[in-house]
A and B are shown apart, each in its own frame.
Chain A
Amino acid sequence: ETGVTQSPTHLIKTRGQQVTLRCSSQSGHNTVSWYQQALGQGPQFIFQYYREEENGRGNFPPRFSGLQFPNYSSELNVNALELDDSALYLCASSSNQGRYTEAFFGQGTRLTVV
């Protein structure tokens, strides 16, 4: 059983650029959620994907968008990067078979916007 993997591990971008982060969910999991964690804070929910559709969204602007693929892997895209987007981005996978199971997280992608 493979765990949740994220790529890349670190990324430096310039303000105004666009970025794509990737996540491979744990084997057997059909739900992927993305979180943003600023330094010293708890993770904040961005959105969740289930069966390739967005299934819930937190308080983030539309320039944060995502995709889920048939193999349940997922991408997080952020357009028009701002300095405040600098954070650790975490992907979590879980299984939704009528009820939510334990969430397992990847190691995160550290995004720095300069």
Chain B
Amino acid sequence: KQEVTQIPAALSVPEGENLVLNCSFTDSAIYNLQWFRQDPGKGLTSLLLIQSSQREQTSGRLNASLDKSSGRSTLYIAASQPGDSATYLCAVMYYGGSQGNLIFGKGTKLSVKP
């Protein structure tokens, strides 16, 4: 069964700290991996998309890496700010099956304290 796991489920850090969110997946035959941000009761905001042929993507203070062989991706947030507080979701698209279907982890709820 193709599953996506995110650890930790919740994280609280002081403002200014650099942090890493983890995502693991059970099947290495991925098509792409996408990181999202979700504010309470809201939709998903796409942060970064990594194609299976790529190792990392960067956008501003965010950097996402992908290691297919180990079934892991990390989202690195530099110099965290209170506005970064949200739930971060990792989603994997696999080859085959219902192609185009994103399989999500349960998310990491991040709280950045001023």
Contacts of A31 in B (CB 8 A): 100
CA distance A15 to B43 in the complex (A): 25
| A83 on the B face (CB < 8 A) | no
User: Binding site of B, secondary structure by majority: helix, strand, loop or mixed?
Assistant: strand
Contacts of B46 in A (CB 8 A): 102-105
User: Binding site of A, secondary structure by majority: helix, strand, loop or mixed?
Assistant: strand
CA distance A13 to B30 in the complex (A): 38
CA distance A105 to B42 in the complex (A): 10
Interchain nearest-CB distance for A18 vs B (Å): 24
B43–A42 touching, CB < 8 Å: no
Q: Which residue of A lies closest to B98 (CB)?
A: A56
A6-40 residues at the B interface, CB under 8 angstroms: 6, 31, 33, 35, 40
Contacts of A56 in B (CB 8 A): 97-101
B43–A106 touching, CB < 8 Å: yes
Interface residues on A, range: 20 to 34
Contacts of A40 in B (CB 8 A): 106
A33–B101 touching, CB < 8 Å: yes
Q: Choose among A55, A58, A104, A108 the residue that contacts B42 (Cβ–Cβ < 8 A).
A: A108
A102–B34 touching, CB < 8 Å: yes
| A81 on the B face (CB < 8 A) | no
Q: Which residue of B lies closest to A55 (CB)?
A: B100
Contacts of A41 in B (CB 8 A): 106
Q: Which residue of A lies closest to B103 (CB)?
A: A45
| B21 on the A face (CB < 8 A) | no
B93–A100 touching, CB < 8 Å: yes
Q: Which residues of A contact B (CB under 8 A)?
A: 4, 6, 31, 33, 35, 40-45, 48, 50, 55-58, 88, 90, 92, 94, 96, 100, 102-108, 110
Q: Which 6 A-B pairs have the closest CB atoms?
A: A56-B98, A42-B104, A105-B44, A107-B43, A45-B101, A102-B49
Q: Which residues of B contact A (CB under 8 A)?
A: 4, 31-32, 34, 36, 41-46, 49, 89, 91, 93, 97-107
